[in-house]
Copies of this chain bind each other. A is one copy, B any other.
């Protein structure tokens, strides 16, 4: 008789894409799949689809024993297992996500903020190995964050801690999906940088960006790498907002490390260097030249799944 191999399911729900897979105890992502979150305006349809795909994945190998599921999602609550009022998802109100998944499986299901899940993954497998005080910042469609303090994730009293993307960086600034104005994620995110590009292009038609069919954080990064002045200015503008907010964040929890992850972070030094520069300029003296700003060390394709699965490993 062959002994079975224990795995957990990791699911990462993003505003645009959802990825999920099976991860062993050593952090190897064995099998994975992706679907478009936006294709499922009804959460029930989404859960059915993911469940079907997962059951297919699980049946691919005969000796897998699934022992738990971890889900990372925006505006997710670890304590209640719900997604609540997520501005970047089509599902409105309060969504009892762990309950919906639990109905289909006989293993425990855990849910947290997608950025919290990424923070767990980064601490176990990535750039924050062994670091007890750090902040994970995910620069995706929105801006998520996960805080680790004294070695533990900060959930807050209600499970909703870590909403750096919804700290207000400009009073009466850009309209945010959350209904308020000037949230950091309207500036420092894949969508925020496109908004910045559109604003700054109005006064500058000489840029290579003016010839692009579609603006994205990737195409702006490509132009910046070619030395396009406007594209570089757009990155600097974005980094100033992010660096300012990080300086204020450092004053509160004094992390050793800030890890940047997600689409916009993939532009590497284009975002890391000016963010660090602006953060340092805004920092209180006692915090200067102490806090590293580094890119995630997790493989982008696996990172979100690893983080979510690590949540399950941590809890079972």
Residues of B within 8 A of A155 (CB): 150, 254
A244 at the interface (CB under 8 A from B): yes
Known: A84-B286, A160-B287. A167 touches B251 (CB 8 A): yes
A282 at the interface (CB under 8 A from B): yes
Interface size on A, residues (CB 8 A): 45
Q: Check A163–B255 contact: CB distance below 8 A.
A: no
Q: Check A256–B75 contact: CB distance below 8 A.
A: no
Kindly provide the distance from the CB of A254 to the nearest chain B CB, expressed in whole angstroms: 2
Q: Check A160–B255 contact: CB distance below 8 A.
A: no
With the chains together, A165 CA to B11 CA distance in Å? Answer: 39
Q: Check A133–B156 contact: CB distance below 8 A.
A: yes
Kindly provide the distance from the CB of A250 to the nearest chain B CB, expressed in whole angstroms: 8
Q: Check B249–A158 contact: CB distance below 8 A.
A: no
A252 at the interface (CB under 8 A from B): yes
Residues of B within 8 A of A252 (CB): 145, 147, 154, 161-164, 167, 249, 252-253
Residues of B within 8 A of A149 (CB): 149-150, 152, 154, 156
A299 at the interface (CB under 8 A from B): no
Query: Can you report 10 A-B residue pairs in the complex whose CB atoms are below 8 A from each other?
Result: A85-B285, A145-B252, A147-B252, A154-B253, A155-B254, A158-B287, A160-B254, A164-B252, A171-B244, A252-B253
Residue-by-residue, is A264-307 near B (CB-CB < 8 Å gives 1, otherwise 0)? 00000000000000000010111100100000000000000000
Pick the contact of A166: B75, B159, B284 (CB < 8 A): B284
Kindly provide the distance from the CB of A282 to the nearest chain B CB, expressed in whole angstroms: 6
Residues of B within 8 A of A179 (CB): 285
Kindly provide the distance from the CB of A160 to the nearest chain B CB, expressed in whole angstroms: 5
Pick the contact of A85: B158, B162, B256, B286 (CB < 8 A): B286
A97 at the interface (CB under 8 A from B): no
With the chains together, A149 CA to B158 CA distance in Å? Answer: 12
Kindly provide the distance from the CB of A29 to the nearest chain B CB, expressed in whole angstroms: 29
Q: Check B255–A156 contact: CB distance below 8 A.
A: yes
- Closest B-chain residue to A169, C-beta based? B248
With the chains together, A247 CA to B166 CA distance in Å? Answer: 10
Residues of B within 8 A of A131 (CB): 157
Residues of B within 8 A of A36 (CB): none
Residues of B within 8 A of A147 (CB): 252-253
